[in-house]
Amino acid sequence: MRVLVAPDKFKGSLSAAAVAEHLSAGLASAGIDSRKLPLADGGDGSVDAAVAVGFTPHPVTVAGATGTPQRGRIADNGTTAVVEVANTCGLATLPSGRTAPLDASSLGFGQAIGHARRHHPRRLVLALGGSAGTDGGMGMLAALGFTFSDTTGRPLRACGRTLPEVAAIDSSRAVNLSGMEIVIAGDVTNPLTGPHGAAAVYGPQKGADPAAVRYLDTGLDNLVEVFTRSGYRQARAVADSPGAGSAGGIGFAAMLLGARMVSGAEYFLDLLDFDGYLAGMDLVITGEGSIDEQTEHGKLLAVLARRAHPVPVIAVAGRNTLSRKQWAPAGFEYIHALGDYTDRNTAADPELTGELLTRIGRDIGRGSLLHNEGPR
């Protein structure tokens, strides 16, 4: 049997590469060789996935979410560069894990883009998952040469707290990104402002209470108005477009720079050459931390299953809430959850997660999960 092991990360527990390694080890213990393809969908782990298929990693030191130096990395292959929010200024870069909904900035992400430009890519892929703040992309733009000032002409720190104070925007010294294709790979469809916008929907996940959500939403609306007055006549239309609210509004800022939004799942499956890896395979094993109702609606695993058909796909998850009758319509031959093997919480236990993934890989190799016999 020829098996492709192509999982996403188990968020908070194991990287996609580690998940693939454990599943493959289990298959090997059952005498089955496999090929590994760690995946991502434009969220955190996107740079790691690119590196796993041959992109060159480049370490960078940038400003973390609240300004402390952060070691991250970008990846390129001579044509395409991948830069992600998560490993530069995302939630994971918050000191002691304390949220900073008003003070977190996307500055480090913009600095990473600056590093990527030095490799002269023709295409820049922006992976926006895992953001820590809601600054409308001010930080990113500041790193690229934009300046933001208040009514007195005083330069402002680029973060959510200063959004309502922005009175003037100067882009005369901004870096020239013309001639470079900029792609936002993601599945967020929220606009920048309003009840479905960046602050209202994602602010609470980043520590914003109701008052902070209102403050940020008002500030984002002000940012759009000032951009409009500063020569960006399309700013309001961009702010209202699907995806502008991604990563606390970085999507909006990127679109102002000419970026286009694409399906993160589809784009990364192409970028990582999933179809090439799939050729000649008899089975695909995929997985991620949680499989639920949202999985069927354009998420990576469902897109993968559709692309893999008619090759059968087995999915592995830390947690699965899909009923058995939903498996086949979602494209899965079988879904197995770590919770079927243990009563312990695996979400923050990488060692236990790894052990169970290896065991599941072994069971798949022996055929028990293909024939719906459940865990041994």
Per-residue pLDDT at 374 exceeds 70? no
- Looking at residue 55, what DSSP letter applies? P
Q: Please give the DSSP secondary-structure letter assigned to residue 10.
A: B
Whole-number pLDDT of residue 376: 42
DSSP string, 208-239: --HHHHHHHHHHHHHHHHHHHHTT-TTHHHHH
Residue located via tokens 């930080």: 139
**pLDDT (tens digit per residue) in 53-83:** 999 999 999 999 999 999 999 999 999 999 9
4-13, 251-260, 289-298, 330-339 — which is least confidently predicted?
289-298
The whole-number pLDDT of residue 373 equals 44
- pLDDT of 278 above 60: yes
In which order are the strands placed within the sheet that holds 283-291? 34-36, 3-5, 283-291, 313-320, 334-337
CA 97 to chain CA centroid, nearest Å: 19
Q: How many CA atoms lie within 13 A of 195 on its CB side?
A: 0
What value does the mean pLDDT take over residues 167-174? 97
